[in-house]
Structure 1
Amino acid sequence: MAAVRRFRSGIWLFLLPVVAQLLHVAVSLEPISMGIAIAAASAITGYVSFPEFYCGRLVECCQVDRPLNSTALQIDLKEKLFGQHLAHEVIYRALTGFMSNENPKKPLALSLHGWTGTGKNFVSKIIAENLYPLGMKSKFVHLFVSTVHFPHNNLIPLYKDQLQSWIRGNTSRCARSIFIFDEMDKMHPGLIDAIKPFLDYYENIDGVSYRKAIFIFLSNAGGDLINRLMLDFWNGGRRREDLELKDVENVLSVGLFNNNNSGFWHSALIEKNLIDYFVPFLPLEFSHVKKCVLAELRHRGLEEDEELASRVAKEMTYSPKDNKLFSDKGCKTVSAKLSLHL
Structure 2
Amino acid sequence: MESPPVKIKPSVASLALQLRVAERIRQRYKKQALQREISPRLRIRSQTYRSTSTAFTFDVPVENGLKRRCRSVRNRKKRVLYPEGTSRKDPTQGSSAANYLLLFLLLILAFQVFNAIENLDDNLLRYDIDGLEKTLWREVLGQPTALALLVKSLAQYLSTHVHDCPVVLALHGPTGTGKSFVGRLIAKHFEVVAGRHLVFQLFARSHCPDDGASCASRITAIVKQAVQKAEQEEKVPLIVFDDVEALPEEVLDLLQILTGPNQPPEHLSAIYILISSLGHDIISDFVLRNASLCSLQPLELDILIKGHLASWLSQKHPLYSNTLLIPFGLLGREHIRHCFWEEMIAEGFVPAEQEMELLASELRYVLAGKCEYALTGCKSVVSRVNQMHWNKKHTCAKNF
| 1:270 aligns to 2:329 (yes or no) | no
Given the alignment of the two structures, is residue 188 of structure 1 paired with residue 235 of structure 2, yes or no? no
Q: What CA distance in whole angstroms lies between the structure 1 residues aligned with 2:144 and 2:124?
A: 29
Structure 1 residues 147 and 239, CA gap change in structure 2 (3 angstroms): closer
TM-score scaled by length of structure 1: 0.68
The residue matched to 2:239 in structure 1 has which SS?
Answer: strand
- Aligned equivalents of 1:232, 1:283: Cα separation in 2: 12
Greater displacement, 190-199 / 115-124: 190-199
User: Which amino acid in structure 1 is aligned with residue 217 of structure 2?
Assistant: D
Q: For 2:359, what is the secondary structure of its paired residue?
A: helix
Picking from 189, 204, 211, the partner of 1:130 is 189
Aligned residue number for residue 58 of structure 1:
none
1:245 aligns with 2:301: yes
Distance in structure 2 (CA, Å) of the matches to 1:134 and 1:68 = 6
Residue equivalent to 2:209: 151
Residues 253-287 of structure 1 show CA distances to partners (whole Å, capped at 9, x for unaligned) of 211223xxxxxx232x234x2x1x11101111211
Alignment correspondent of 2:338: 291
Contact 2:203/2:242 (8 A) holds in 1 = yes
Name the amino acid aligned to 1:219. Answer: S
Number of matched pairs? 261
**Quick one: percent identity of the two aligned structures?**
22
* 1:193 to 1:297, Cα distance in 2 relative to 1, 3 A: same
Give yes or no for contact 1:109–1:214 (8 Å, CA) kept in 2: yes
Structure 2 match to 1:95: 154
Aligned-partner SS, 2:182: helix
For 1:257, what is the secondary structure of its paired residue? helix
TM-score (norm 2): 0.59
Q: State the distance in 2 between where 1:216 and 1:324 align.
A: 30
Query: 1:140 and 2:198 equivalent?
Result: yes
Counting only pairs closer than 5 Å after superposition, residues 218-237 of structure 1 correspond to structure 2 as 218-234=275-291, 237=292
Measured in 2, the distance between the counterparts of 1:138 and 1:156 equals 27
Partner of 2:15: none
Looking at structure 1, the residues matched to 313 and 377 of structure 2 have their Cα atoms a distance apart, in angstroms, of 22
**Deviation, structure 1 residue 209:** 1.0
1:117 touches 1:329 (CA, 8 Å); kept in 2? yes
* Structure 1 residue 93, shift from structure 2 partner: 0.7
- Using a 3 Å threshold, how does the CA distance of structure 1 residues 324 and 70 change in structure 2: closer, same or farther? closer
Matched, 1:209 2:266: yes
Say if 2:233 is the partner of 1:173. Answer: no
Taking structure 1 as reference, are residues 328 and 241 closer, same or farther at Cα in structure 2, changes over 3 Å only?
Answer: closer
Q: Deviations over 1:124-180 (max 9, x none)?
A: 112112222299x9332212222222234xx33333333222211221122422111
Residues 293 and 100 from structure 1, CA distance in 2 versus in 1: closer, same or farther, beyond 3 angstroms? Answer: same
Q: Is the 8 A contact 1:163 1:195 kept in 2?
A: no
Aligned to 2:283, the other structure's residue is in SS state helix
Aligned 8 A contact 1:292 1:334 in 2? yes
Q: Does 238-247 or 96-105 show the bigger shift? A: 238-247
Using the TM superposition, give the Cα deviation of residue 73 of structure 1 relative to its aligned residue in structure 2, in angstroms. Answer: 1.6
Considering Cα pairs closer than 8 Å and 6+ residues apart, tell me whether 1 or 2 has the greater RCO: 1
Q: 1:280 to 1:92 in 2, by over 3 A?
A: same
Structure 1 gaps of 5+ residues are: 1-63, 259-264
Question: Could you tell me how far 1:199 is from its partner in structure 2?
Answer: 1.5
Q: Is the 8 A contact 1:106 1:211 kept in 2?
A: yes
Residue of structure 2 in register with 1:328 after alignment: 375
Change in CA separation of 1:317 and 1:324 when aligned onto 2, cut-off 3 Å: farther
Whether the 8 Å CA contact 2:171–2:179 is kept in 1: the answer is yes
Structure with larger Rg: 2
Query: Any conservation in 2 of the 1:86–1:279 contact (CA below 8 Å)?
Result: no
Looking at structure 1, the residues matched to 312 and 367 of structure 2 have their Cα atoms a distance apart, in angstroms, of: 22
Aligned counterpart in structure 1 of residue 327 of structure 2, from 260, 277, 280: 280
* Alpha-carbon distance between aligned partners in 2 of 1:102 and 1:171, rounded to the nearest angstrom: 14
Alignment of 1:79-94 (within 5 A): 79-94=138-153
**Structure ranking higher in helix proportion:** 2
1:163 paired with 2:219, answer yes
Contact 1:109-1:215 within 8 A present in 2 as well: yes
Cα deviation, residue 112, structure 1: 0.5
